[in-house]
C-alpha cells in the first residue's frame, strides 16, 4: 500500500470512522467547512460577497475529491454519486455560513 503524503495525512485524521463511510464523509465535510469559514472570515473584505460564496463551494468540491480519491471511499458504500454530493450538504452550508459570519464580525474593523 503506497500512500502519498497527503493521502496518509487524511487517512490518519479520519481513521476513527473507517468502519462507517457515511460518518467519515460527514466529518471530512465538516472539517472543510471550518477551514473555509476560517479563511473567508480572516480574509475579511477580500472574500466578502460573491468571492466568499464561490470559495466555499470550491472547497466543498475539494472535500468531495478528498472523500473519493484520497480516502478512497467507494461510491457504492455511500449510495452513489448523488448521495455523496447531497449527504451532509446542509450541515456544511450552515456551519460554513455561521462560522464565516462570526469570524468576520469579530475580526473585521468597524
Percent over 90 (pLDDT), the chain: 74
- How many domains are contained in the chain? 1
Low-confidence ranges of the chain (pLDDT < 50): none
Q: Is residue 65 part of a domain?
A: yes
Q: Is residue 69 part of a domain?
A: yes
Residue 45: predicted pLDDT: 86
Q: Is residue 11 part of a domain?
A: no
String of DSSP letters for 21-45:
HHHHHHHHHHHHHHHHHHHHHHHGG
Residue span of the structural domain in which 93 resides: 22-107
pTM of the model: 0.90
Q: Is residue 14 part of a domain?
A: no
Length of the chain: 110
pLDDT in tens, 2-12: 678 889 999 99
Q: Is residue 3 part of a domain?
A: no
Residue 58: predicted pLDDT: 97
Amino acid at each position: 500500500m503506497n500512500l502519498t503524503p497527503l493521502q496518509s495525512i487524511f487517512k490518519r485524521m479520519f481513521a476513527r470512522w473507517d468502519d462507517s463511510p457515511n460518518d467519515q464523509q460527514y466529518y471530512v465535510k465538516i472539517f472543510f467547512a471550518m477551514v473555509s469559514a476560517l479563511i473567508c472570515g480572516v480574509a475579511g473584505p477580500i472574500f466578502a460577497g460573491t468571492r466568499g460564496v464561490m470559495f466555499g463551494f470550491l472547497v466543498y468540491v475539494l472535500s468531495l475529491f478528498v472523500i473519493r480519491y484520497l480516502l478512497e471511499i467507494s461510491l457504492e458504500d455511500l449510495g452513489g454519486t448523488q448521495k455523496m454530493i447531497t449527504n451532509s450538504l446542509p450541515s456544511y452550508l450552515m456551519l460554513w455560513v455561521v462560522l464565516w459570519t462570526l469570524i468576520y464580525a469579530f475580526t473585521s474593523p468597524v
